[in-house]
Structure 1
Amino acid sequence: MPYIYQITFILTFLGISILSVRRSAKVQSADEFSVASRSLAAPGVSWVIIGTLVGGVSTIGTVQTAYTHGISAGIFTFGSGLSCFVLGCFFARALREEGVVTVSEYLGRFFGQRFRRYCSAINSMGMFIHVVGQFLASIAILQAVFHFGDVASVLITMCLIGVFVLSGGIAGAGLIGKIKFFMLYLIMLTCAGVALSKGGGMEGIISRLPVGIDMLGFSHYGIKTAVLDMFSMLVGVLSTQIYLQAIFSARDVRAARNGAFLSAIIIPPVGVLGIIVGLYLRANHPEVAASPAQALPYFLEQYFPPLLAAFFSAGILLIVLGTGAGLVLGVTTNLYNDFICQGRVFENKTRSVTIVRASALLVLLSASLLVFTGLDSTILKWSYMSMGLRGAAVFAGLCVLVFCQKLASSRLVLFLLYLLPVMYIVLQIL
């Protein structure tokens, strides 16, 4: 690969990154870091959700799975859109009116502080797993552009995510989300347009797909697996700290609800565009089967001039790292508020921000070690697993409080809430 490609990639990424981290000087307290002093308007709420929910899984992971399993790759983005719609309809008001910082804090007010810490730990574990998917996507880009080894790619990804997460907190995540939105649609619309043009439209692409493999249905992927993945997406998004943190950061209930609705509209089309690219590659490039995680970087390299391909690759890396940073931020918020702080207010605001950032660094280091357990895994596999774990810890309790709060005092209900994550983990092992 010519050096001009790599130089353009670096300069583009640095330019976008500088815009993203300029928020860092404005963060003066843990409250600003975690919930932006509850000042976000509806677009700001949506930028935070998009900035974290739409990442390597929605782009590289979707193209990868579309290449291997067809339209079932759209489960993640369509499930995300559905979850955001449900969030706006039924949960935004209750969550925003409580004035909490973490979802486990909200649950702890009704189910006790012990359950708060239990829920927070399981939820954080789920986000850890999702961070692995972002690392894998970032590794795919870095290896495609620079041909780095696994260790170097992991270390570089860790450092880059660290820059984003340690800078502007939730406000920085919103700014990254805004930049990601425009980059995402520019890249995916252009890629899908090229795929349709080169492939003779969808009819031409479909006519060249392998015979005997159901790429346009769910039988090859597994109908049961598809249903479980969609359910995991629905409950996982509604149970994840960083997505709900956007709701907590809204300036009022209306901003929270409209931000969720805006996200529900924006996210699903990204999956459609990724599926088009993945199906085109499956129909025309059997050589990609050796490394399907490289499908999208491969497409950029093959079908665009080096300068434009480098620009797009840098944009996708930003998209991936922004999601990883948001997830690390969610885990950090849980760690700080549910274990370190536990309701205490530090008089020294500078000290509180330092503690939060130190916690984020610890989370990031731990997450990077987890990556080495699954370097050869499918990106979406990690994401669905993490969504299910988060949902098992939070979703049932959240539904009890929103729809039938009288049951919150039942010991049987509390016992079942403790049992659900254990059951999910056992089912995953079996």
Structure 2
Amino acid sequence: MSSLDFIIIFIYFSVLVVIGIIGTIKAKTSEVYLLAGRNLGVFMVFGCLTAVFLGGSSTIGSAQLGYESGFSGVWFVFSMGLGITLFGLLLLKRVMGFNLMTISELLGKLFNVESKLVGAVISAIYALMVSVTQVIAIGALLSAIFNWDLILSMLIGGGVVFFYTILGGMWSVTMTDIIQFVIMTAGIFLIMLPNSLSAVGGFGELTSQLPSSYFDFSAIGFKEIIKYVLTFTLGMMVGQDIWQRFFTAKNLKTARTGGILVGIYSFLYSMAMVIIGMCALVILPNIQDTQNVFSSMAFETLPTGLLGIVFAAVAAAIMSTASGTLLASSTLIAKDILKDHFFKGITDRQFLLLSRGTTMIISIIAIIIALWIQELLVAIDVAYALLAGAIFIPIVFGLFWKRATAKAAFYSILVSSAVVLGGLAIEGLSSSNPILYGIAANIVVMILLSLTDKTNKGNREVREKMEASS
């Protein structure tokens, strides 16, 4: 990389730090700090939703899948975007009527404090582990670019992200997300994709160089597609980081439109990334570690200046996910655990300070875990599996079935969590079957306990009021 490329990346990081400092001034209430004042328009909601779920694994992983299997690699990212769109179309209207900040807060309103607490713990762990993987990813990227030690790279990359998140909360995260969304879009669609296709002689030449299976959307197999849908589509529908972005919208129509646009964009983005990976297979057919497909292709095809922009785009994808999931985890802990159980009756100013302090502590924990494991482990798969297997069913039953009870929700979460973890231990951490087992156990416990529990009329009344207002 040239001096110009380094300067571009340095300027990008400096802008993020400045936004964090400005965010300290802007975020004067807890609602602004956690939800950006609930006043964002369609483009802002769309950009923020896109930025938070398109992380390093989505970008680098899609290029890797394109290199290995072609078009069918789109299911990885598209299944995530599909989950966001389905949440906007199917659940959002009912959820927004509660004026929530967190997903576990909904469990508390529909059921009881025990369900709320266990939901907060599971959701917070999920968000924290996603943030950890992004710290590792940004560290690996900076280490490759600047030839720094990996630990130093994680400290600097993670430090910048957490700096602006701690200071400005959702206001800073929103501003940086929009910048990162624009950089991601320009870097991938306007620079990397055209240069990759040009390097192989165009799309027509690409089709003649690769086997027909690379242009088959089902080539990875039905089982793998189902795994993506179960893990990522359901996981996104009940992810705190996703809900928190929807809650920043100024109204339901704005939020729903943003969610629909995310589904469309996720397909286009994943197609762009897998095509880049396919082009890499033609130009660089002997890449040993396929996780390096994207970076190898960038170094091979991009001139000075453009290389810096594209690596800034990858950094943007990673950092936007890291900041969003960090804030999601700290919000769950600050509001649904600390405030509700240990700091009852505090003022909004005190809650703002508590939220900032919690975000700082979670940041430190995330960096420590990242430094400890130093590689992208399957912990993220476990987190998604728990989220989809344990939280999805109670939320859906609570919103759509009047007879669902608090006792049933609490025990269904506990039982399904145990089933998912047990299944992963027996069948392996990459298996999607434990999610199915968890969902099945969840449904059975929810129905059986709800039908035999006659003590929870209050929760039925809550749902009836919700339906009347929706």
TM over 0.5: yes
- Percent of pairs with identical residues: 19
Q: 1:12 to 1:331 in 2, by over 3 A?
A: closer
> In structure 2, what is the Cα distance between the partners aligned to 1:400 and 1:319?
34
> In structure 1, what is the Cα distance between the partners aligned to 2:21 and 2:313?
15
Whether the 8 Å contact between 1:56 and 1:319 is mirrored in structure 2 is yes
Whether the 8 Å contact between 2:390 and 2:412 is mirrored in structure 1 is no
The question of 1:244 aligning with 2:240 is answered no
Q: 1:377 to 1:247 in 2, by over 3 A?
A: closer
Question: What aligned pairs does 1:88-127 form with structure 2 within 5 A after superposition?
Answer: 88-127=88-127
> In structure 1, what is the Cα distance between the partners aligned to 2:179 and 2:224?
34
For structure 2, the 5+ residue unaligned runs are 427-470
Tell me the secondary structure at the aligned position of residue 286 of structure 1: coil
The question of 1:199 aligning with 2:200 is answered yes
Whether the 8 Å contact between 2:55 and 2:134 is mirrored in structure 1 is yes
Deviations 1:340-384 (A, max 9, x none): 1118453261x4322212211211222223334654447xx6654
> In structure 2, what is the Cα distance between the partners aligned to 1:360 and 1:39?
22
The question of 1:416 aligning with 2:416 is answered no
Q: CA deviation at 1:294?
A: 2.9
Residue 284 (structure 2) aligns with: 285
Residue 307 (structure 1) aligns with: 305
Question: What aligned pairs does 1:277-356 form with structure 2 within 5 A after superposition?
Answer: 277-290=276-289, 292-342=290-340, 344-347=344-347, 349=349, 351-356=350-355
Deviations 1:20-51 (A, max 9, x none): 76333100122221122322233333233122
> In structure 2, what is the Cα distance between the partners aligned to 1:78 and 1:405?
33
* Paired residue type of 2:394: G
> In structure 2, what is the Cα distance between the partners aligned to 1:206 and 1:106?
49
> In structure 1, what is the Cα distance between the partners aligned to 2:68 and 2:363?
31
> In structure 1, what is the Cα distance between the partners aligned to 2:320 and 2:257?
22
Q: 1:12 to 1:38 in 2, by over 3 A?
A: closer
Q: 1:229 to 1:348 in 2, by over 3 A?
A: closer
Higher RCO structure (Cα 8 Å, ≥6 apart): 1
Q: CA deviation at 1:160?
A: 1.6
Residue 401 (structure 2) aligns with: 404
Tell me the secondary structure at the aligned position of residue 168 of structure 1: helix
Deviations 1:209-235 (A, max 9, x none): 4x7x95455887554233112221111
Residue 147 (structure 1) aligns with: 147
Q: CA deviation at 1:422?
A: 1.9
Whether the 8 Å contact between 1:52 and 1:173 is mirrored in structure 2 is no
The question of 1:429 aligning with 2:428 is answered no
Whether the 8 Å contact between 1:26 and 1:168 is mirrored in structure 2 is yes
Tell me the secondary structure at the aligned position of residue 98 of structure 1: coil
Tell me the secondary structure at the aligned position of residue 305 of structure 2: helix
Tell me the secondary structure at the aligned position of residue 288 of structure 1: coil
Q: 1:179 to 1:3 in 2, by over 3 A?
A: closer
Tell me the secondary structure at the aligned position of residue 238 of structure 2: coil
Residue 370 (structure 2) aligns with: 371
Whether the 8 Å contact between 1:134 and 1:323 is mirrored in structure 2 is yes
Whether the 8 Å contact between 2:16 and 2:176 is mirrored in structure 1 is no
Whether the 8 Å contact between 2:129 and 2:380 is mirrored in structure 1 is yes
> In structure 2, what is the Cα distance between the partners aligned to 1:421 and 1:135?
26
> In structure 1, what is the Cα distance between the partners aligned to 2:395 and 2:383?
18
- Which is higher, the Rg of structure 1 or of structure 2? 2
Question: What root-mean-square deviation, in Å, do the aligned CA atoms of Structure 1 and Structure 2 show?
Answer: 2.5
TM-score of the superposed pair, with normalisation by structure 1: 0.90
Whether the 8 Å contact between 1:20 and 1:164 is mirrored in structure 2 is yes
Name the count of aligned residue pairs. 423
Does 244-253 or 16-25 show the bigger shift?
16-25
Does 84-93 or 223-232 show the bigger shift?
223-232
> In structure 2, what is the Cα distance between the partners aligned to 1:206 and 1:231?
31
Question: What aligned pairs does 1:9-88 form with structure 2 within 5 A after superposition?
Answer: 9-15=9-15, 17-19=17-19, 22-88=22-88
Q: CA deviation at 1:106?
A: 0.6
Q: CA deviation at 1:266?
A: 2.4
The question of 1:231 aligning with 2:230 is answered yes
* Paired residue type of 1:232: T
> In structure 1, what is the Cα distance between the partners aligned to 2:300 and 2:418?
46
Whether the 8 Å contact between 1:144 and 1:294 is mirrored in structure 2 is no
Whether the 8 Å contact between 1:47 and 1:175 is mirrored in structure 2 is no
Whether the 8 Å contact between 2:40 and 2:248 is mirrored in structure 1 is yes
Q: 1:348 to 1:202 in 2, by over 3 A?
A: closer
Q: CA deviation at 1:196?
A: 1.4
Q: CA deviation at 1:413?
A: 5.0
Q: 1:325 to 1:269 in 2, by over 3 A?
A: same
> In structure 2, what is the Cα distance between the partners aligned to 1:382 and 1:282?
29
TM-score of the superposed pair, with normalisation by structure 2: 0.82
